[in-house]
Amino acid sequence: MKKTRFTALAVAAAAALALTACSSGSLSGGDKSGAPAGGGDLTPVTVGLLKIAPSAAVQMGIDDGIFKKHGLDVKVQLGQGGAALLPAVSSQSIQFAVGNPLSVLVAASQGLDMNIIAGYSSIEVPEDKAPSGVVVKKSSGIASWKDLAGKTVAVNALNTQGDLTTMASVEAEGGDPKAVKFTEIAFPDQLAQLEEDHIDAAWVPEPFLSAALAQEGMTFLGDPMRTIPNLYTMVTFTSGAYADAHPEVVKAFRDAISESTKAAMDDTAHYDDAIVAFTGMPADVVKGIHLEHLTGQLDRSVIENLSTMAQKYNFVAKAPDLDKVIVD
């Protein structure tokens, strides 16, 4: 009964979220000028967010007055996918965004002038609290990463951190990463495809991960993100042009992000409430899922390792200049 109830709640959460992190899409809502009316001496800025659980810490920081304390009047503009945030930031129709670092590195390698200014969320959590990972059937015979060679693995979007780190995990165990077949399936649809044997494995985040593992016959293969210690699932970024023109605003935003993420980690009950309000996920689901570690601190070595891995597996044609991409 408990498993059935949790699965139903997770499905409801999936419907509420329409989770599309790392996929393509367009921004929706809000003033496209990126210049909302400010209050008093506050500097108006717009931040692009995905409607997923970790993003709620930004809204929490806004609601709690953290950004105002740093002199910012922040407006949130929701994106339908991580790829949509990049051109909006590049054109300065929005000033900041929170999204996955691989997309930023790929954009930078293709000539977009992007700056990573802070961390945001990472997998720096205990292994048994993984916020995402690969699920397989117990009857599949897949017991290790190298067993995925020749198998079909679902990811929500191709050429993102899910398939990149899965390839690295397979090779680390002596398997052939090029033999893994990746297919693009939306997160809410992956479990059904796995149950019907249309795919051999599914890479999913929460709440889909817990929902899958609540089903009889499913097991957790592992979290491929751990091929890079403390890998960021999301970072905070802006355009190089905006950072050059407004260094004081960038510093204020970085400081506010750091304070907001710390506040979320220090008061998890308040953070849970913010997730419920921001995403529409049921409170019972939020309390039962595993979440990323939030931090505004940026470890350059993590981004360097991600860039090296992306080049090794041809996710980027050439490595971006990290001295230009990373702003301390």
Residue-wise pLDDT for 25-35, tens only, equals: 333 333 333 33
pLDDT, mean of residues 285-296: 96
Query: Do 60 and 141 fall within a single domain?
Result: no
Q: What is the pLDDT of residue 32?
A: 36
What residues form DSSP beta bridges with 202?
A: 135, 154
How do residues 94-138 score in pLDDT, each as one tens digit? 999 999 999 999 999 999 999 999 999 999 999 899 999 999 999
Phi-psi region of 282 (alpha: psi -120 to 50; beta: other; left: phi over 0): beta
Query: What would the pLDDT profile of 292-308 be if each residue is shown by its tens digit?
Result: 999 999 999 999 999 99
The answer for 196, left when phi > 0, alpha when psi is -120 to 50, beta otherwise, is: alpha
Which pLDDT belongs to residue 328? 78
Question: Strand 232-239 to strand 96-99: parallel, antiparallel, or no bridges (unpaired)?
Answer: antiparallel
Spatial distance between the Cα atoms of 82 and 98, rounded to a whole number of angstroms? 8
Which whole number is the average pLDDT over 59-70? Answer: 98
Q: Could you tell me the pLDDT band of residue 82, with boundaries at 50, 70 and 90? A: low
Q: Residue 132 belongs to what domain range?
A: 127-227
CATH code of the domain in which 170 resides: 3.40.190.10
Same structural domain, 223 and 274: no
Compute the distance between CA of residue 151 and CA of residue 135 in angstroms, rounded to an integer.
13
End residue of a domain, out of 192, 227, 262: 227
In this predicted structure, what is the pLDDT of residue 251? 97
Write down the H helix ranges in the chain.
2-17, 56-63, 66-69, 82-90, 101-109, 161-172, 187-195, 208-213, 240-245, 247-266, 268-279, 283-288, 300-312, 322-325
**Is residue 104 within 8 Å of 327, Cβ to Cβ?**
no
Please state the rounded mean pLDDT for residues 8-12: 46
Indicate whether 13 and 109 sit together in one domain.
Answer: yes
Q: What is the pTM of this model?
A: 0.86
**pLDDT tens for residues 166-190?**
999 999 999 999 999 999 999 999 9
Task: Give the dihedral of Cα atoms 157, 317, 165, 88; nearest 10 deg.
Answer: -50
Residue in this structure with the two tokens 């008093």, named with its chain if needed:
40
Q: Pick the residue with more confidence: 221 or 3?
A: 221
The domain boundary, picked from 170, 197, 227, lies at: 227
Residues 235 and 120 in one domain: yes
Q: Which of 328, 177, 304 is nearest to 231 (CA)?
A: 304
Q: Are residue 20 and residue 82 in the same domain, yes or no?
A: yes
Quick one: 139 and 257 in the same domain?
no
Q: Which of 227, 243, 269 is the last residue of a domain?
A: 227
pLDDT for 295 equals 98
153: Cα within 13 Å, side-chain hemisphere: 31
88 and 176 in a single domain? The answer is: no
Instruction: Tell me, yes or no, whether 209 and 90 share the same domain.
Output: no
Chain Cα centroid distance, residue 246:
26
Q: Are residues 50 and 151 in the same domain?
A: no
DSSP states of 212-268: HHTSTTEEEEE-GGGGSTT-EEEEEEEEHHHHHH-HHHHHHHHHHHHHHHHHHHH-H
Q: Specify the number of domains making up the chain.
A: 2
Confidence class of residue 23 from pLDDT cuts 50, 70 and 90?
Answer: very low
Same domain, 159 and 99: no
- State the chain's mean pLDDT as an integer: 89
Average pLDDT in the 12-17 region? 45
- Indicate the pLDDT class of residue 155, thresholds 50, 70 and 90: very high
Q: Compare 87 and 30 and report the one with higher pLDDT.
A: 87
Question: pLDDT tens-digit profile of 205-233?
Answer: 999 999 999 999 999 999 999 999 999 99
Q: In this predicted model, what pLDDT tens digit does every residue of 228-248 receive, in sequence order?
A: 999 999 999 999 999 999 999
Q: Kindly state whether residues 238 and 205 are assigned to the same domain.
A: no
Specify the pLDDT at position 310: 97
Per-residue pLDDT at 17 exceeds 70: no
- Token pair in block for residue 144: 């290790």
User: In this predicted structure, what is the pLDDT of residue 35?
Assistant: 38
42 and 81, same domain (yes or no): yes
**What sign does the CA torsion over 195, 196, 202, 204 have?**
negative
